[in-house]
Every structure is written in structure tokens, then in C-alpha cells.
Structure 1
């Protein structure tokens, strides 16, 4: 039997937004966050501390095709929140534990491009997306980070190309939202 996870702390949040540029301006100019990276015009990763990102913003489709649900890709609001685990081994153990408990895993185990964090996303009883992550890039005076723009491709979503996924891999392809099914 797998061991129950022991999160270290609450990590980052990913929000789906209607206007990425306006949201980036708000969170940098008004809230005071710094930009870490972008995925083209589809996602922005922002920070206030040492983690590569505390907040990620994902552009939702602009064609008005929003779906109503507790969570649905393309709906404005929270995409997921995350808890930090210590390593890949802990995430693998967490995946086994979640499966034993009958918890639906949405995506992962994978390794994102921006932030280079490992990820495992699953649903809570209300359908909210929760993530276990580990090994995120740390930005410090000793380890500065220069923001870059990633291509909206599989390497930005999962550098391992689904090889460690414990659920079927999503039908990959940029869908006007980069990581619509798999963010930060």
C-alpha cells in the first residue's frame, strides 16, 4: 500500500483569464509581481518570491465558447492550485496513493518547460483541479532568471513527452490555449 502524501506547503495557482495582456499588466503594475516566462501569447508565469512562479495566467479562448462547470478548460477563474512535494519519488508515491484511493488523476506525471517543475494533477470531490509539484526552478540573487518566451509546443507542456504519465496522454496540440489541459 502506498503512503499518503505529506505536502510541504501551498504552492502556485493557475488562473484562466479573458485578456492575458491586461491580466499581466494588473499583476505586475498593480500587485507588484515579476514576470518569469511566457508561453507565446497563451500563458504568463509570475513570481513574488523565489519560486519560478507563484501565479500563472492562461488565456482562455476568445471565441465565446466558455463552458460552465466547477472546472472546465476555457472557463475564466481558477484552473488549479498546487502543493509542493519533495521529489519525483514522492510524486510517484502520491500517484500510487491517489489511484489506490480511487481519486481521478487528470494529468501527469510530467515535467513542465517553464519552471521545470514536475507535476501530477488530480480532482478533489467537487471537481477542482489540485496539483502536486516538485523541483521548481528557484530564482535568487545567486541564481538569477532571465524571462523568455517558450513556443506553445509539447516541450513547454511536458518535457518528458508523456513518457511518465500514469493516465492516458491528452490529445496534444495547441488549442488556442497552449496548456488548456495541462497548465503549470
Structure 2
């Protein structure tokens, strides 16, 4: 029996899959009062209520006929893609890998570093198959109104600046294919 545990600091952000990203972005900005931090193409928007780069991200559900339908995340309905917990550091991220492996927890993706938000990430499954993420080093945005949202290109760099090199599990085939296509 193991005694190691993860060391979350607080609940962080969540990512929701949505049917109509423009309609949802409008709701969360115009009704809920969140601010846009960045976009990835027209497929994902990062929103914030405070200084974290994002506390909510919305991802467009792919059309069933789209080649992206089998891309991450693999959801065909609106709802939660993942929720996250903040941890202290990159060193704690490395330790988290060992703790999860020690407990036999399925690691899904990571360690990586997202483009938007610049945060390190590690995603794994809970006993019910929910995606849980631990993250650290997220960009902080002062509430002085000067931040300009950026539109990132939808590519491997926006997903993982390390280009899958630090993944502790084999990356999904479509990400490896994407990496190969981008090198050509």
C-alpha cells in the first residue's frame, strides 16, 4: 500500500465541449461577464473571471463528418472535457507522474506545455473515467484592461509547446500524425 498523494492547491479551470462556440462565447462574456484571454482558431476560447489566463475554456464539438471528429477530446456531446487542480511547480508535476503510476492511475496526456496560458499540464482518469488535470505555471493577466486576446493557430504548438517530447505515455496517434505533417 502506498502513502503518496498528489498535492493540489485549489480547484483551477475546466473545459467544456459546446455545440456552438460563438453562441457560448457570447453567453459567457455578455451574460456572465467573463473576459476573453485567447482563442485557438475558431475552435476553442479561453475565458477568465480573475487573473488566471483561464478558469473556463470552451471547445467546439467537431462535426461528425469532420476529420477532427476522432481528435482529442473525443466527445460527441456537450459537457465537461476536464477539470483541473493547481499544483505548485514543475517539480511537483514530475512527482505527480510517479504518484499516479504508483497508484495505477491511467495517464491520458502530458507532461506538456499549452500555448495559450503557457501552463504545464498532466491529464489522467478518475475511477469513473472523467479527465482530471493537474497544472502549474499558468500565465497571470493583470486586471488593468490592457491584455489583448491572441488567436493562436490550431496546430501542435498551441496544444503542446514541447511537441509531445515530454509525454510520459505514448501520445495518441492523431497527435503523432499531426507532428509528422508539421515537419514536412
TM-score (norm 1): 0.86
Corresponding residue to 1:159 among 147, 158, 161: 161
Q: Which runs of 5+ in 2 are unaligned?
A: 179-184
Q: Which runs of 4+ in 1 moved over 3 A?
A: 141-144
Greater fraction of residues in helix: 2
Q: Which runs of 5+ in 1 are unaligned?
A: 179-184
Corresponding residue to 1:113 among 99, 112, 115: 115
TM-score (norm 2): 0.86
* Matched ranges for 1:121-132 at <5 A: 121-132=123-134
Aligned to 1:90, the other structure's residue is in SS state helix
* Matched ranges for 1:125-140 at <5 A: 125-140=127-142
Shift of 1:109: 0.3
Q: Distance in 2 between matches of 1:86 and 1:103?
A: 21
Q: Distance in 2 between matches of 1:143 and 1:86?
A: 27
Task: Pick the structure with greater CA Rg.
Answer: 2
Q: Distance in 1 between matches of 2:159 and 2:99?
A: 24
Contact 1:2 1:96 in 2 (8 A): no
Shift of 1:61: 1.3
Contact 2:50 2:143 in 1 (8 A): no
Q: How many residues align?
A: 172
Shift of 1:11: 0.2
